[in-house]
Amino acid sequence: MSTPQSDGQRAMGRDARKLAELTDKVLFGDIWERPELSKRDRSVITVAALVAMYRLEQLPFHFNRALENGVTKEELIEIITHLAFYSGWPTAASAIQLLSSATSPD
């Protein structure tokens, strides 16, 4: 019987075990669990930062996490639309394409 992969293992792969461990324990186990912000708020902030910094490879994972944390697809679209005027049209256009791919039915 196989053990389910942790968020860190899914994000970092099984080859980078220490990075996956730090991701699980520090990022998702500590930072994401701090009570001062809700997970929903943390998802909004994370998606906005990733769009603005053009970190496309991270967006599909965080779009799905945001949806799990109660952010709606419509809210994600509005966040991306708003950011088009602050981080640039290409960042928003690329993010919208990724959001459509991440949330479209298979």
pLDDT in tens, 37-65: 999 999 999 999 999 999 999 999 999 99
CATH label, 38-106, candidates 1.20.1290.10, 3.30.1490.20, 1.10.569.10, 3.40.50.300: 1.20.1290.10
If one counts every other C-beta atom within 10 angstroms of the C-beta of residue 69, the result is 17
11 pLDDT band, cuts 50/70/90, is confident
- In one-letter notation, the amino acid at residue 25 is K
* 74, 66 Cβ separation under 8 angstroms: no
**Helix, strand, or coil (residue 5):** coil
For residue 57, the 8-state DSSP code is G
If one counts every other C-beta atom within 10 angstroms of the C-beta of residue 68, the result is 11
Q: What is the pTM assigned to this prediction? A: 0.86
Extents of the domains making up the chain: 8-37, 38-106
